[in-house]
Amino acid sequence: MSVTTTTVAPTKPWVKTPWQRLPSLSLVLLSLIASGIIIEMTPLKGKLGFFLVFVPILTISETILARVKADKKAAQDVLVSSFIWTATFLVFLPIASILVTAIVKGLPGLKPNIFAETMQIVSFTDPLNKGGLLHALVGTLYLILLSIAISVPLGILTALYLTEIRGPGSNFIQFIVQAMSGVPSVIAGLFIYSSLILATPLRSSSMLGAFALVILMVPTVTRTSQEVLLLIPNDLREAGLALGATQWKTVAMVVVPAARSGLLTAVILGVARIAGETAPLLFVLGGADGLNWNPFSGNNSALPFYIWKGFLIGLPEAIQRAWTGILILLIVVLILFATARYLGSKNRRKP
Amino acid sequence: MTHSQNNGSGDKEMETKTRPTPNSLASVASGRAQKQPGTAPLGSGLEARGVHAWFGSHLALRDISLDFSAGTVTALIGPSGCGKSTFIRTLNRMHEFIPTAAFAGQVLLDNKDIYEASVDVTKIRLQIGMVFQKPNPFPSMTIGENVLSGIKLAQLDVPKSERDDLVQDCLERAGLWNEVKDRLDAHGGSLSGGQQQRLCIARALAVKPKVLLMDEPCSALDPGSTLRIEETINQLSSSMTIIIVTHNMQQAARVSDYTAFFLSDGGPGELIEVGPTSEIFTKPRDQRTENYVSGRFG
Amino acid sequence: MRLRRGHDAAMPALETLPEKRKITTKPRPSDVAFRGIVTTFGLINLLILTLIGSFLLFRGLEVLKNEGFGFLTNQKWDIVPDESGNQPKGMIGLGSMLSGTILISFVALSVALPISVLTALGLNFYAPLRVRSFLVTMIDLMAAFPSILFGMWGFFVLMPSAEYWAMLLHRYFGWIPIFDVPQPFFTRSPFIAGLVLAVMIIPIITSVSREVFSQAPLDRIQAAYALGANKWAMIRAVVLPFGANGVVGGAMLGLGRAFGETVAVFTVLNIVYQTNWDILFGAGGNVASHIVLRWGEAGEYEVKALLAAGFVLFLLTLFVNMIANSIVRATVKKGR
């Protein structure tokens, strides 16, 4: 076969050329100008006012243009696209706003002393070069560690039950786990209070806080672990069994190691879920202002509780402390989230 | 009819040997009446000129030029993976849905390039219809609604009084009317595979296309349904141009006026030979065509 | 049983099938232990869920028995023991807080649902590939934000603007009863709480909708395009009918979340025990935030009452979530 060198270049004739985009772009420009004029002339003001005028003007004019240039169905298509753009913008505006707010409002309080001191001898309303959230950081750390210790075995073993054993109760257990994921966080706290604090000598502590958080964490860990385990191809399991391994050996030595990073992701996502929980802690943690190195007894603290206290006091310094606390909490959550994503994508890239 | 051929590895002299498969194909193929190009009032047909298709940087089709005369049935044959499906999707601009797709060349419908910037692609797809390999009626619509779905999607102006007639007409032409006329309100998914495919044909007919593309329409069906659909194709061919991709050479011989043979040697798919069906199956010009139709590969 | 090799190939011999053999394996002890342990852990979940319900019910039983069904409907919360130290009947109930829960959750859903569905369509069918994964990551990130962050943001950033919009709404649409206010007090209203909740549940509904839409069958999408549909026509004909159930499931998941939200509502809503259907007026509450508000100074009887309230909330969210999950599961299984 004669190989002729192709001098033809690939093109994409269906993609709109800049020239074709011109009418649309000029409409955007015209709408901006028109909106500006209308804003000047009417009592509508501010960014909201501009938005409320600009979006309808642009939408209507683009729809009319499509109707004129093409036909009714093209006009509908353009109208729906406008709605979709607007909706997407409305989703990402709060995300950006929240992130920016947390950073802008939290930064001023980010002083070195907050990592070294507690609120034991300092009041929330004292100037910010005094006091700190060390106790809250330690408390959150305790909560995370204790929660992991309990939810990881519980969550992963439950996931193993659902994927590997698939016993007769599987559907039911699946249902139960899903029901648990809908339990409001405040209920988890109330439950621990009503069962342990009211009925036993146990009193507020990090341990009890962890118990409450476990209720919220296990469904997340279970669900994500399940997804990960289901992705492990059956060939692996069959290979293990064909080599004569028992089921538990296959699971322990073949399946779980293969799913290792996915299971780790599940745990991290679970931690991210509970790191910022406030409501359950209000009932079982005690909200201490000083360091309590004992996680098993005595009031303790956590970042969300610290933030909560600051907010409730309401005076400027207290609010500032709260914002700084939020910023730190947000950074913790972001790190967890990014780690989970990184592990997840590494997992997917494996053949 | 214009041919575009790459030079084969020598023009081997065709010997009149007895080859079981080509003979039976030949007898079928030559049994069909040769269509005169351009007799049906459908405009001047569809023409592909220098069509190249890429997926990303991988060239899938090289320099395909084919002329489909109005009112004819053309079969595209060739082994798996040689680009027939890719080619047929360039004809109704479905190829561009793949994100990495790229294209070069022209596809002319009535002498107008459908890839031109000013063209409304949705209107092109009304004139060049498609039936897929796996029947895909809309399950949320009734049988009647399925037939009219093209009208509804494109918001064509068909007065309500004419709609029932249109449904009946299309279902009759697709060979499905007698089986469903009493249950036009049943759901589209309640039919057998062959019936679903005929429903898809009726659906494609409702928007009155000039060209009907069929991508292996019978490969998922049983022989009885296949035969019925081939009858349908025969009847439809008087009023439109049909291009059918098929793996089944006997089907190509039964159904088509012209046959085009595609081949890919691991590289881009190319058009090896095209001609009247009887010739392709009895005295193909290219050795590779001969090898394929005699069953030596593919 | 052997096949009879017959000389008459025309009539093949009828063969009686052999009996099926019972295949059993004696399980190894290690496997028995493994299955036992894993099954036990699976059942622990059931145990936890049952315990939650049981303890709350147990603690709150006295109050529930005292008030009977009135616990759900009474519109007062006056913990006032009479001379003999008993709580007279009919003085406490969740009525106002239940209606508040429903009010703000539905405000949240009516704002969040259209935005979420449109965004999910946009992510699947309109966004270019590279942009899509970034946007999806951002939405998943928002789902991980702590609720107190939403609360603080809602109070300090959203509320000043929202107050302005509320006043606008009242000025131009105040003739609609729901937008009327008894006094011009627009801060910390159910409207604002609903908006904050909407922002919180948008990630959930968007994620579920996006998943469902991405499973819309490609062959039907292609069929629609091949018939000359443009993008919106295709979405209307294929994607929306396919995904409608899943979207409903996602909406109910969001609703369940909104029902139980505590901290964000507490910061943004002026929790007053009254039934307030005027969403622009700054008073209201939901069951969860009510519990938190009263907890600090609650005496023994009130604690029981609050635990009973917790039980009611537990049942409510359990119910909504069960329905939501079964809908979503049915959609996933359908996948036709």
Q: What is the CATH number of the domain that holds B70?
A: 3.40.50.300
pLDDT at B3: 42
Rounded to a whole number of angstroms, the distance from the CA of A70 to the nearest CA of chain B is 8
Binning chain C into helix, strand and coil, the percentages to the nearest 5 are: 70, 0, 30
CATH of domain A134-349: 1.10.3720.10
What confidence score (pLDDT) does residue C151 get? 93
- As for how many domains chain B has, the answer is 1
Strand pairing partners for B259?
B75, B275
Give the residue on C whose Cα is nearest the Cα of A187.
C310
Where are chain C's structural domains?
95-334
For residues B71 and C287, give the distance between their C-alpha atoms in angstroms, rounded to a whole number. Answer: 73
Tokens representing residue C129 in the block: 């590939």
Query: Which of B82-96, C32-46, C255-269 shows the lowest mean pLDDT across its residues?
Result: C32-46
Res B9: pLDDT: 39
**How far off is chain B from C232, nearest CA to CA, in Å?**
9
The answer, yes or no, to whether residue C122 has pLDDT greater than 90, is yes
CB contact (8 A) between residue B9 and residue A6: no
| pLDDT per residue as tens digits for the range A208-224 | 999 999 999 999 999 88
Helices (H), C189-286: 190-214, 218-226, 231-234, 240-260, 263-268
The verdict on a CB contact (< 8 Å) between B153 and C129 is no
Cα dihedral C77→C83→C87→C93 (10° resolution): -20
- Is B1 among the domain residues? no
pLDDT (tens place) for every residue of chain B, 298 residues total:
444 444 443 333 333 333 334 445 555 555 554 444 433 445 668 999 999 999 988 999 999 999 998 889 999 999 988 899 999 999 999 999 888 899 999 999 988 999 988 888 899 999 999 999 999 999 888 999 999 999 988 888 888 888 989 999 999 999 889 988 888 888 877 888 899 999 999 999 999 999 999 999 998 888 888 998 999 999 898 889 999 999 888 899 999 999 999 999 888 999 999 999 999 988 889 898 888 888 877 6
Residue at B23 is within a domain:
no
pLDDT of residue B14: 39
| CA–CA dist A272, A281 (Å, integer) | 16
B150 Cα to chain C: minimum distance (Å): 5
Q: Is residue B11 part of a domain?
A: no
In whole angstroms, what is the distance from residue A188 CA to residue A213 CA? 7
Which of C126, C130, C221, C227 to mutate against chain B (most B CBs within 10 Å)? Answer: C227
The pLDDT value recorded for residue B95 is 92
Q: Which residues of A touch C49 (CB under 8 A)?
A: 176, 179-180, 183
- Most C CBs within 10 Å: which of B91, B120, B130, B136, as the mutation test of the C interface? B136
Half-sphere exposure of A233 (CA within 13 A, CB side): 5
Q: Which chain A residue has its CA at the smallest distance from B288's CA? A: A1
The series of mean pLDDT values per 10 residues for chain A, 351 residues long, is: 64 84 86 85 74 86 86 89 93 94 92 85 83 90 94 90 80 86 91 87 90 93 89 83 80 82 88 91 88 88 92 90 94 92 72 48
The pLDDT value recorded for residue C14 is 65
Contact B52 A8 (CB under 8 A): yes
| CATH architecture entry for C95-334 | Orthogonal Bundle (1.10)
**If we measure between CA atoms, which residue out of A70, A38, A61, A41 comes closest to residue A51?**
A38
Report the residue from A92, A182, A191 with minimal CB separation from C256: A182
Total CB pairs under 8 A between chain A and B: 46
Is 60 exceeded by the pLDDT of residue C141? yes
Q: Which three-class secondary structure state does DSSP give residue B166?
A: helix
Whole-complex ipTM: 0.88
Question: Measured between CB atoms, does C241 come within 8 Å of chain B?
Answer: yes
- For residue B16, tell me if it sits in a domain: no
Is residue B34 domain-resident?
no
Whether A10 sits inside 8 A of B96 (CB atoms) is no
Gap from C6 CA to chain A (nearest CA, Å):
41
Kindly report, residue by residue over C159-190, the tens digit of the pLDDT. Answer: 888 888 888 788 888 788 778 877 777 888 88
**Domain interval for residue B191:** 43-293
Which pLDDT does position B27 carry in this prediction? 57
Give yes or no for C216 touching B (CB within 8 A): no
Of A1, A12, A20, the CB nearest to B102: A12
Q: Which residue has the higher pLDDT, C115 or A71?
A: C115
Tell me what pLDDT residue A161 has.
85
Closest residue to C46, CB basis, from A94, A176, A248: A176
Which residues does chain B have within 8 Å of residue C225's beta carbon, measured at their own beta carbons?
A: 94, 97, 125
Question: From A8, which residue of chain B is nearest by alpha-carbon distance?
Answer: B104
Closest CA to B212 of B239, B241, B171, B232: B241
Give the mean model confidence (pLDDT) for residues C242-268. 91
Element (H, E) at B213: strand B211-215
pLDDT (0 to 100) of residue B54: 92
16-35 in C: which are within 8 Å (CB) of A? 28, 30-31, 33-35
- Cβ(C85)–Cβ(C175) below 8 Å: no
Q: pLDDT at position A147, please?
A: 95
- A8 with B9: Cβ contact below 8 A: no
Contact C237 B200 (CB under 8 A): no
What does the pLDDT read at residue C188? Answer: 86
**Does residue B148 sit within a domain?**
yes
Name which of C129, C228, C242 is nearest B122 (Cβ-Cβ): C228
In chain A, CATH 1.10.3720.10 covers 134-349
Provide the 10 A C-beta neighbour count for residue A244.
8
Q: Which chains touch C (3 or more CB pairs under 8 A)?
A: A, B
Beta-ladder partners of B242: B73, B212
Beta-carbon contacts of residue C327 (< 8 Å; ≥ 6 apart): C245, C246, C248, C249, C252
Residues B97-121 have pLDDT tens digits of: 888 899 999 999 988 999 988 888 8
Reply yes or no on whether the pLDDT at C333 is more than 70: no
CA-nearest residue to A252 within chain C is C34
Residue C11: per-residue pLDDT? 54
The residues, any chain, with a CB within 8 Å of residue C135's CB and separated by 6 or more, are A88, A92, C123, C127
The B residues from 125 to 144 touching C (CB cutoff 8 Å) are: 125-126, 129-130, 132, 134, 136-140
